[in-house]
Structure 1
Amino acid sequence: MAAELDLVVRARRAVVDGREVPAAVGVRDGRIAALTALDDAPPARETVTLEDDEVLLPGLVDTHVHVNEPGRTEWEGFATATRAAASGGVTTILDMPLNSIPPTTTVAHLRTKQDVARGRVHVDVGFWGGAVPGNLADLEPMHGAGVFGFKCFLLDSGVEEFGHLEPPAFALAMKETARLGALLIVHAEDGRLLDDGALRGASYAGFLASRPPEAEGAAIELVIAQARETGGRAHVVHLSSAGAVPALRAARAAGVDVSVETCPHYLTFDAEHIPDGATELKCCPPIRGAANREALWAALAASDVDFVVSDHSPCTPDLKRRGGGDFGQAWGGIASLQLGLPAVWTGARAHGHTLVDVVRWMAEAPARRVGLGHKGRIAVGADADLVRFAPEETFTVDVSALHHRNPISAYAGRSLRGAVRQTWLRGVPTADREPGGQLLRRGRR
């Protein structure tokens, strides 16, 4: 084995198989080939020993990222998004099908995205397809081409080239994805329950009132009903309202295949502390009150929420500040791909959770749900995607130091705990190297 191993990483603390333990991780040809006790580390061409204040984590898997390229590359692109991901300990992302032009709603559009991304990504990248009005016949070919599932909206998506599904069309999409065995992921807000009349320019309270939790609850009930009726696989993205958790819990107890994610911003911020005009914190569905945030933490602890992903949704600064702080006009989305791990760890630590929990929420569970069993865990046979993390190091977010394309962030000036000091993708450091990421297909390693 000495001649065969390329790398051994020794760590006094490593998150392995649901525990934090001392371990030595041996890498051969990009995969984990050996996992031993710390003092039994086999020889290798290179051995790295982590410092006492560092923990070895598996690379995170972020299944909710808007890269926006091509078409809106000035918002974000594959090179910048994946460099930010690697710097934040994320080694696999799935790109959302909208905000790029063209959107990923046909095989031809998928090929366009893949061609743009190829050779430019610093982490591994897979793709969601889109389910929009008029493309029902395109779902099967895209499924065959390797998308990881299909994204749809139940209300206006915010971009005209990606239409939303009314309930009858959603039912057809759910039936088709059930037939294919594909995952249908849903932006679940009921547009009929929004109240645009509540919007009052720079008032955050007005914006919050315009998108009530009832809109999420009603849409999630529709998702549950269709998943139950068709036997399909459904996933609710970016849950902001903890009030929907009991319905999701009951559905799963009854055997409905429905999962749910939340995002770092819903676990970090609260409506009571968002100033008027602070449109850098605008997202849809909105950040709700502190009691709701605490209920989301409780739902994570109880496994009623499955995992945490970024919903990295960047734009140019002028779009975020459009209208001079008017919540009705500013783009809704939060760029956080590089900051998700420290943001969640800061909150998790304060709530009595461990890095084992964070790894489950941000690596293991999302990888498992989308069929990437060789990602998100430190295990023999898995990809050697590893993160050198200093959990007690604190820093203040400086947007000019982030790798996101545009220097704007809801976290600007915020103190966070936990620093990523090194990331390996398949056993090779991601820093200061040419893009080494691969384009992923569902069902293929």
Structure 2
Amino acid sequence: MSDAELVLRSRRVITPQGVRAAAVVVGDGRVAAVLPHDAEIPAGARLEDLGDDVLLPGLVDTHVHVNDPGRTEWEGFWTATRAAAAGGITTLVDMPLNSLPPTTTVDHLRTKQRVAADKAHVDVGFWGGALPDNVKDLRPLHEAGVFGFKAFLSPSGVDEFPPLDQEQLARSLAEIAGFGGLLIAHAEDPHHLAAAPQRGGPRYSDFLASRPRDAEDTAIAALIAQAERLGARVHVLHLSSGDALPLIRAARAAGVAVTVETCPHYLTLTAEEVPDGASEFKCCPPIRESANRDLLWQALADGTVDCVVTDHSPSTADLKTPDFATAWGGISGLQLSLAAMWTEARTRGHGLQDVVRWMSSRTAELAGLTQKGAIEAGRDADFAVLAPEEAFTVDPAALQHRNRVTAYAGKTLHGVVKSTWLRGERIFAGGEFTDPRGRLLTRRP
């Protein structure tokens, strides 16, 4: 262990084997060893004693809309990755839409990579997009290193990223299955959405009625059927409908390769608490009722829902109008996701090791990021240092994302991120950031 450079010592380290007092040895940007708490410090290594603060693996957020280039006034790599670092997230995977151009060809991917290269405070990877007319581009994008392909089964909200109908979905999914790729889907059925009551105005109840659970349930059922027929891998994005859980359980039992994510806002917020006109709470699919939230928590606990991601989808403040029908739909949650999840999880009897499993280990597994997601020898030395008992009140002015609109304003959350480390280097502490040190990640063959 002569190459050891750093030792992080804590009485509470989240490891794959559980929470333990340990000394984590770092060398060449990776975890070299996880030793007993009282182990001798290797010669030449610098010791950081964290006391009772918890050392956990940096979070891996596989659902982030950075919007850069093209809509950088909504969000950009500089601001998004600072928000991530401040929230204990050390890796994010960028969604292919809301940037101009969208990540739907290799040339467009290269454009986005050039923009991100010198602005990323954390490691960044990219999803590709599956559109009605780009089946020919899917394999080249896969070979260029995207982690999979996002498709919408209903309108996306931006013209340059149209949805797939069932025939187009089948063509794209067959192509992706042919090279062993992954399709990730925004699953709402357009026909159910069109048939739902569409009333504008400030009432959240009207917006909720316009995005019914059966729109999700029907789209998920169709996605599962296509995956089963084609032998394809599919992932359900941002599940909000608890009614879809029996479909997913049955599909898994039948051997269909389907995974599922949900988001902190579906697990920590409820429709009953959304004030009329408060479109900072608007997202699609929507935040649903308290009883539905309980179903999602049960599904997380039993493994039906695999992981938790932010679906950070910001916009400029002027697009968050008081009319739920016209306001931009998206929750900005990068910086607050860990605290929001921990605040709710602790009241439901879950430990930090559960939060790490949902927000780091399983998200890394979803994207095939084998070097991320755990504190064990050989993995990247990516960490968050958390004071889990400390509480804070959310002040939008303290947030790092570009437009400081948040559904969590004024809420008291538990869990303060004291510092964030990327490959053994401290990139955030005490409200201060280093210069960007993130790398651009590609899918490993």
* Shorter-chain TM-score range: over 0.9
CA positional deviation for 1:150: 0.2
Q: How does 1:313-352 map to 2 (within 5 A)?
A: 313-321=313-321, 325-352=322-349
CA positional deviation for 1:225: 0.4
The match for 1:7 is: 6
SS, match of residue 198 in structure 1: coil
Amino acid at match of 1:138: D
Q: Tell me if the contact between 1:199 and 1:327 (Cα under 8 Å) persists in the aligned partners.
A: no
Amino acid at match of 2:211: R
1:260 aligns with 2:260: yes
The match for 1:387 is: 384
The match for 2:81 is: 82
Q: Note the residue ranges of structure 2 that are not aligned, 5 or more in a row.
A: none
What whole-Å deviation, never above 9, does each CA across 1:265-289 have from its counterpart, x for those lacking one? Answer: 0001111111111100000000000
1:416 aligns with 2:417: no
Give identity over the alignment, percent: 59
Q: Tell me if the contact between 2:335 and 2:400 (Cα under 8 Å) persists in the aligned partners.
A: yes
What whole-Å deviation, never above 9, does each CA across 1:147-198 have from its counterpart, x for those lacking one? Answer: 0000000010000000110110001111111101111000000010014633
Q: Tell me if the contact between 1:18 and 1:356 (Cα under 8 Å) persists in the aligned partners.
A: no
1:118 aligns with 2:117: yes
Using the alignment, how far apart are the partners of 1:344 and 1:243 within structure 2? 22
Alpha-carbon RMSD: 0.9
**Alignment: residue pair count:** 439
Using the alignment, how far apart are the partners of 1:199 and 1:92 within structure 2? 39
CA positional deviation for 1:207: 0.4
The match for 2:443 is: 442
Q: How does 1:1-400 map to 2 (within 5 A)?
A: 1=1, 3-43=2-42, 44-52=44-52, 54-194=53-193, 195=195, 197-321=197-321, 325-400=322-397
CA positional deviation for 1:120: 1.1
Q: Tell me if the contact between 2:9 and 2:51 (Cα under 8 Å) persists in the aligned partners.
A: no
Deviates more, 1:179-188 or 1:42-51: 42-51
SS, match of residue 91 in structure 2: strand
Q: Tell me if the contact between 2:41 and 2:47 (Cα under 8 Å) persists in the aligned partners.
A: no
Q: Tell me if the contact between 1:237 and 1:260 (Cα under 8 Å) persists in the aligned partners.
A: yes
Q: Tell me if the contact between 1:384 and 1:424 (Cα under 8 Å) persists in the aligned partners.
A: yes
Q: Tell me if the contact between 1:24 and 1:41 (Cα under 8 Å) persists in the aligned partners.
A: no
What whole-Å deviation, never above 9, does each CA across 1:98-135 have from its counterpart, x for those lacking one? Answer: 00000000000000000000011000000000001100
CA positional deviation for 1:254: 1.1
Amino acid at match of 2:436: P
Using the alignment, how far apart are the partners of 1:41 and 1:401 within structure 2? 40
Using the alignment, how far apart are the partners of 1:251 and 1:147 within structure 2? 26
Q: Tell me if the contact between 2:91 and 2:122 (Cα under 8 Å) persists in the aligned partners.
A: yes
Q: Tell me if the contact between 2:200 and 2:326 (Cα under 8 Å) persists in the aligned partners.
A: no
Amino acid at match of 2:382: D
SS, match of residue 99 in structure 2: coil
Using the alignment, how far apart are the partners of 2:77 and 2:274 within structure 1? 31
Amino acid at match of 1:243: D
The match for 2:404 is: 407
Amino acid at match of 1:149: G
Change (3 A) 1:236 1:41: farther
CA positional deviation for 1:41: 4.3
Q: TM-score, with normalisation over the residues of structure 1? A: 0.97
SS, match of residue 125 in structure 2: strand
SS, match of residue 349 in structure 1: helix
Amino acid at match of 1:407: R
Q: Tell me if the contact between 2:184 and 2:237 (Cα under 8 Å) persists in the aligned partners.
A: yes
Amino acid at match of 2:81: T
Using the alignment, how far apart are the partners of 1:263 and 1:55 within structure 2? 23
Q: TM-score, with normalisation over the residues of structure 2? A: 0.97
Using the alignment, how far apart are the partners of 1:75 and 1:234 within structure 2? 29
What whole-Å deviation, never above 9, does each CA across 1:307-349 have from its counterpart, x for those lacking one? Answer: 000000000000012xxx1000000000000100000000100
Using the alignment, how far apart are the partners of 2:71 and 2:61 within structure 1? 21
Q: Tell me if the contact between 2:232 and 2:257 (Cα under 8 Å) persists in the aligned partners.
A: yes
